[in-house]
Structures are given as structure tokens and as C-alpha cells.
Amino acid sequence: MAALGNPALWGVCGRGWSRAKLAGRLPGLRSSWPRGPVGVRPLSQEKPATETHFGFETVSEQEKGGKVYQVFESVAKKYDVMNDMMSLGIHRLWKDLLLWRMHPLPGTQLLDVAGGTGDIAFRFLKYVQAQYKGKQKKQLRAQQNLSWEEIAQKYQNDEDPLGGSRVMVCDINKEMLKVGKQKAQAQGYKTGLAWVLGDAEELPFDDAKFDVYSIAFGIRNVTHIDRALQEAHRVLKPGGRFLCLEFSQVNNPLISRLYDLYSFQVIPVLGEVIAGDWKSYQYLVESIRKFPPQEDFKEMIEDAGFQKVTYESLTSGIVAIHSGFKL
Ligand SMILES: COc1cc(O)cc(C/C=C(\C)CC/C=C(\C)CC/C=C(\C)CC/C=C(\C)CC/C=C(\C)CC/C=C(\C)CC/C=C(\C)CC/C=C(\C)CC/C=C(\C)CCC=C(C)C)c1O
Ligand SMILES: C[S@@+](CC[C@H](N)C(=O)[O-])C[C@H]1O[C@@H](n2cnc3c(N)ncnc32)[C@H](O)[C@@H]1O
């Protein structure tokens, strides 16, 4: 895909994406972006603000994006360490499992939305590289009578160890992307990876561009989940797959009690002690309770046009992986 292959196009790009659109979603830009007279509505005709939730708080839809932005701007630097501490590393297993379910083959073009600090993207690159190496080894083993020079040459000629696979990380938050890019550099991920600032509700990509769309712990934060799902459907190629890892509904009453206790009594305290940020971690646990349970979310995915929608509950339903296809 041209946009993925050409680093010059790896900025904010694509379909109708503009600073003006971003301005509506990012708090800093919203107030400063000038509006022409055409957009001005007389006070008496002000459209009533539609309400939504930000955790357990009721806010207007216009406010929510800015509040979510502030949460991730505030936690970005401590985000990774917080996740390991809060989950005792379990989030890594959930993310690994997402990759096993995705099972990307060499050549896969992945869009990881709300990709934050790159956890899914890095796993994807590791996975496709391992797949490609495995395939190459198999081929070499099948060619019994190659000399060692021929074998060495085959390894050296290997221009693209990803076999053409690419991942595009898209996130609305500059600070999260900044941490992700620093991690990529520190961990030596150079090729096959691009970072784009963009909104899940209005993706800056043309139609039918990607083989797989993933979103991990992201969709819960989006103001209009239905719009994000429609966008996922739009940017996938026919035959493409949607995969979502998200907190869900615990299905065991005893675990549910313990889980609530841990969530409300421990998580915000950890947030305060480690990240100096109680409120963001209170938002995390509250937003989990506001997210639809497995079956309801499955229906929402179907409503967006996906087919063969299934889900798998993990760790007693603390999280679930939903999958659907654009057919
Ligand atoms: C601002 O927004 C965000 C910020 C972020 O940093 C991250 C996210 C998005 C989230 C991720 C990327 C995933 C990683 C983050 C988490 C998993 C944190 C969220 C955690 C919960 C909602 C609670 C559930 C956590 C887990 C199941 C992970 C494992 C944790 C434990 C087993 C807890 C063990 C802890 C202790 C023993 C310490 C002592 C605790 C106490 C004294 C309090 C009482 C403890 C209990 C009653 C035991 C806790 C029991 C459970 C949690 C249920 C266990 C369930 C099973 C074993 C099946 C983001 O949006
Ligand atoms: C909990 S983090 C998940 C990061 C990463 N996917 C992971 O699993 O570690 C949620 C991410 O969603 C992003 N986000 C929130 N609303 C968004 C939106 N409307 N469009 C794109 N990204 C969004 C946040 O900026 C944040 O980076």
C-alpha cells in the first residue's frame, strides 16, 4: 500500500483529514481554531447538547473528547508501568492472545486504532517476522541440495524480513504516540511501522485499505462507538477482519465482587501513588462499567455491517476479544 510504504505519507494523511476536523476533538485546538460566519448559529437556535458519560459523570458529547484527551495526555509517560503494576503483567497475555487470534500472515496490512504506545503494533511486527522466518526455514529445508554459500546468500538477500507486512498505529493523542515512537526507537523497530494522529470516528484513510483493523482498550473511550465501528468497516478491504480487545462483563459473581473491590479500592490508589493521578484511574474503572457487555457489543458490531461476529471472554469476562469480518 502506497501510504504505508512511503514514509513521506506517514503523517496526518488521507481522506478529507484536516486540522479543522481535528480541532473539534482536541481541546487545545478546539478553542483556537477560527470559525467563519457560515458556521455561526444564532444563540436562540443553539442545538441542544446531547449528553453522554465520562465514567460515571454525565457530560455533553462535545466535552467528552476533550476530557478523554486530557486523561491520556496525563497518563502517557506512566502508562506502560501502570499497566504492568495494575494487572501484574496479565495485560501482556491478553495482548499476546489477540495476536494469536489475528494470526497475521506475511503481507498483512494492519491498522491498529487507539494504538497508543504501540503494544499491539510491536507484537504484530514480532509475530509476522517469526512467521516469515519460519516459512523461509521450511523452504530452505525443502531444498535439500543447496550449498552453504547459497543458503547464506538467501539469508542476505532477505530485503524485507516482514514479508511485506505493515502496521499503521493511529491514535488521537500526541503524547501517547510520542511515547510509542520513543519505545519503537529504543526497541529497534524501524521498518513496517507508521504512526498517524487521527480519530477513530473519522479515520484519515481511504476506503478498503487494510486487511485487519485492531483496537485494544480503545473503543471504550470513543464518544460515538457506532461511528468508530462504521469507520472500521469502511477502511477494511472486503474479506478484512475487525478485532477488538476490551474490558467486558465478569460472568462469575464471586470474582465480580473481588474485581469490584480491586477496581474501586486499589486501582485509583495505584494511579495516585505511581502516576500521581487518581482521577484518570477512577475514570478507567468507571468507564469499564459503562461499556456494553459481550452480547450487546456483538450486536453493535453486526449493526456496523460486520458478519460472522464472535467473541471470546478471557479471565472470567474481565476482558473479551470480539471478531468480525467485512464480507
Ligand atoms: C486511564 O485509562 C487507562 C489507563 C491505563 O493505564 C490503562 C488503560 C487500559 C487498560 C489496559 C491496557 C490493560 C491493563 C490494565 C489493567 C488490567 C488494569 C485494570 C484492572 C482492573 C479493572 C482490575 C482487574 C485486574 C486484573 C484481573 C489483573 C490482575 C490483578 C489481580 C489478580 C489483582 C491482584 C492484586 C493483589 C493481590 C494486590 C492486593 C489487593 C487488595 C488488597 C485488594 C483486594 C484484592 C482482591 C479482592 C483481589 C483482586 C481480584 C480480582 C481483580 C479478580 C481476579 C480475577 C481472577 C483471578 C479471574 C486505561 O484505559
Ligand atoms: C487505554 S489506551 C490503549 C492503548 C493501546 N491500544 C494498548 O492496548 O495499550 C486507549 C487509547 O485510546 C486513544 N483514544 C481515545 N479516544 C480515541 C479516538 N477517538 N480515536 C483514536 N484514539 C483514541 C487514547 O489516546 C489512548 O491512547
pLDDT digits (tens, 9 = 90+) for 11-20: 333 333 333 3
Residue scoring higher pLDDT (148 or 213): 213
C-alpha cell at 59: 457530560
In the chain, count of helices (H) and strands (E)? 14, 9
Q: Are 162 and 97 in contact (CB under 8 A)?
A: no
Grouping H, G, I as helix, E, B as strand and the rest as coil, residue 24 is coil
Mean pLDDT across the chain: 87
The alpha carbon of 120 and the centre of ligand 1 are apart by a number of angstroms equal to: 20
Residue 176 has pLDDT above 70, yes or no: yes
Local confidence band at 28 (pLDDT 50, 70, 90 cut-offs)? very low
Q: Is 119 labeled as ligand-binding?
A: no
User: Residue 157: what pLDDT?
Assistant: 63
Residue scoring higher pLDDT (142 or 180): 180
The alpha carbon of 297 and the centre of ligand 1 are apart by a number of angstroms equal to: 22
The alpha carbon of 58 and the centre of ligand 1 are apart by a number of angstroms equal to: 25
Q: Which atom of ligand 2 is nearest to the CA of 116?
A: 27
- Mean per-residue pLDDT, 297-324: 98
Please give the helix or strand (H or E) that residue 281 lies within, else none.
helix 278-290
Local confidence band at 47 (pLDDT 50, 70, 90 cut-offs)? low
Residue 35 has pLDDT above 60, yes or no: no
**Residue whose C-alpha cell reads 444563540 in the numeric block:** 43
Tally the C-alpha atoms within 13 A of residue 286's C-alpha that lie toward its C-beta.
14
The alpha carbon of 321 and the centre of ligand 2 are apart by a number of angstroms equal to: 16
Grouping H, G, I as helix, E, B as strand and the rest as coil, residue 325 is strand
Q: Is 226 labeled as ligand-binding?
A: no
Q: Which of 213, 220, 218 is nearest to 297 (CA)?
A: 220
User: Residue 146: what pLDDT?
Assistant: 77
User: Residue 34: what pLDDT?
Assistant: 28
Ligand 2 environment, Cβ below 6 A? 68, 72, 113-116, 119-120, 171-173, 176, 199-201, 216-218, 221-222
Local confidence band at 134 (pLDDT 50, 70, 90 cut-offs)? confident
Residue 77 has pLDDT above 80, yes or no: yes
**Residue whose C-alpha cell reads 516482514 in the numeric block:** 162
Q: Is the CB of 269 under 6 A from ligand 1?
A: no
User: Residue 136: what pLDDT?
Assistant: 79
| ipTM of the modeled complex | 0.88
- Mean per-residue pLDDT, 41-49: 60
The alpha carbon of 140 and the centre of ligand 1 are apart by a number of angstroms equal to: 46
User: Residue 46: what pLDDT?
Assistant: 66
Instruction: Tell me the sheet residues that pair with 317.
Output: none
- Mean per-residue pLDDT, 225-249: 98
User: Residue 150: what pLDDT?
Assistant: 75
Residue 26 has pLDDT above 60, yes or no: no
Q: Is the CB of 258 under 6 A from ligand 1?
A: yes
Q: Is the CB of 316 under 6 A from ligand 1?
A: yes
